[in-house]
Amino acid sequence: MIRGNDEMRKNPHQRTSPARDGALRVLIAVDKEGAYANLALQNIRADLKLGADDLALLTELVYGTLRMRGTIDWVIDCFSSTPVSKMSHAVRNIVRLGVYQLLFLDRIPPWAACNEAVEQAKRWRLAGLAGFVNGLLRSIARKREEISHPDPDVDPLSHISVKYSHPAWLVERWLNRYGKEETIALCRANNKPAPLVIRCNTLKITPQELQQQLERENVIARFSMLVPEGLVTNLSSLAELRLFQEGYFAVQDESSMIASLVLNPAPGSFVIDACSGPGGKTTHMAQIMQNRGRILALDVHSHRLELVAKACKRMGVSIVEPKLMDVRELPFQLQEKADYILVDVPCSGLGVIRRRPDLRWRVKPEDLPQHARQQLEILKSASRCLAAGGILVYSTCTTEPEENTGVIRQFLEECKDFQPEDLSLRLPFPLVWEEDKVTARSGFLQLFPHRHGTDGFFVACLRKTIKGG
């Protein structure tokens, strides 16, 4: 939640751009209070009631500054006598916002970025530091062509971390796994805004018909190369469209659709969605089942289940039963009853940092083992409800092995009545990478933004082979 404090108390007599003022409030909330950028941005949009151009600038400033924060802080420390880490939250983020505009937004003149930062300092009752902000930003503006990054041959880790704005611990892991060139490619992909992909609701319309109707709304949409229901659009938001409100499509990345397609539940079957979240995969499975059968959608957050119910109503889905429950507390009566189970576990989210740039700075390496322990607990609990011969899909939106292959290998060691299912026979698209072909035959696939054009996503498919477990 964005709220004021003594440091940020505003002077109403000073005027700054509303988009920049809103961006600063979001950045301080993320930095000081640990707010999630997408939620803080959503609140500030509702609060400010900006026009379309200012909304676009607000979003660009927030996500761009967070995305390039590593590079920005490096530059500030090169020019400032006070390190970024020693600055107050307000000053630090006023300067970050100014440097982002100076280095990454060509359409904003340097004098405008500097003047707005000075006015922001005054507006937030930091007039005594306005001279510091002005001098620092004008110095960076004058010498920006001279800025250099760490030498890639001498120190590739620091070079990639600084130039491509990713935390060093994460870059080090990727360097060890993928090498220098592929790590750079992955970081570059993470720094590009992700396209908005929609899933056609095949209960109401075909993808071809949806594309034609979108064209009439002046929306350009091309068919996905990976999933038959997917269309990749040219917009950043489609929620206001009549076609969305009437349930003809849902917003969902291609990688997320793949999990439901791999599970491929048959019409009339009983499915457990062990961690439903807001219901994107839940409603997709209902489509695949032609809205026949039963889906028990579990989650531990009631507001997410409310979103599931709203999505089902909007899309004409009637077979979903939302239930507030931790999958680790599933009743005995459900054991070995489900034909299919989707276990899309909570994770670090390191595969979606192109959509949520603050995540790269939020997640710490010590978080990963904790996620893995919880994920294994959830997977083992959910698996007890699968009938013999049934299919279980485990998925995450992370790139890190502890949460992916590490969990699956540990599960298979402990649960001998499960075996990997050949994914290459269940995927809706042909595999190109040789590594993908090998892992898919072993029952899992890791998707990456720089290789597949999707979010970073992991999916594994298992079959229960014998009765019991």
Characterise 165 by phi-psi region: left (phi > 0), alpha (psi -120 to 50), beta (else): left
What are the phi and psi torsion angles at 338 (to 5°)? -85, 140
Is 397 tagged catalytic? yes
CB 222 within 8 A of CB 386: no
Does residue 58 contact residue 23 with C-beta atoms inside 8 Å?
Answer: yes
Distance (Å, rounded) from C-alpha 119 to C-alpha 105? 19
Task: Give the bridge partners for 323, in sequence order.
Answer: 298
Gap between the Cα atoms of 448 and 466, Å rounded? 34
Task: State the distance between the two ends of the chain, measured CA to CA, in whole angstroms.
Answer: 45
Residue by residue, DSSP assigns 376-418 as: HHHHHHHHTTEEEEEEEEEEES---GGGTHHHHHHHHHH-TTE
Whole-angstrom Cα distance, residue 234 to residue 230?
13
Report the half-sphere exposure of 31 (CA within 13 A, side-chain side). 22
Residue matched to tokens 């964005």: 2
Contact 54/83 with Cβ under 8 angstroms?
no
Q: How far apart are alpha carbons 313 and 361 in whole angstroms?
A: 37
List, in order, residues 6 or more apart from 463 with CB less than 8 Å away.
389, 390, 391, 392, 418, 419, 420, 421
Phi/psi zone of residue 324: left (φ > 0), alpha (ψ -120 to 50 degrees), beta?
beta
- Amino acid letter at 70? G
The one catalytic residue in 312, 397, 415, 461 is 397
Distance CA 76, CA 70 (A): 10
Q: Is 75 helix (H, G, I), strand (E, B) or coil?
A: helix
Question: Edge-to-edge strands of the sheet including 249-251?
Answer: 221-223, 230-233, 197-200, 249-251
Q: Which residue is it, tokens 């040789």? A: 434
How far apart are the C-alpha atoms of 204 and 442, rounded to whole Å?
Answer: 36
Alpha carbon 196 to its chain's center: 12
Cα 101 to Cα 215: distance, rounded to the nearest angstrom: 34
Structure-block tokens of residue 31: 């930095």
Structure tokens at 187: 């970081």
Give the active site residues. Answer: 397
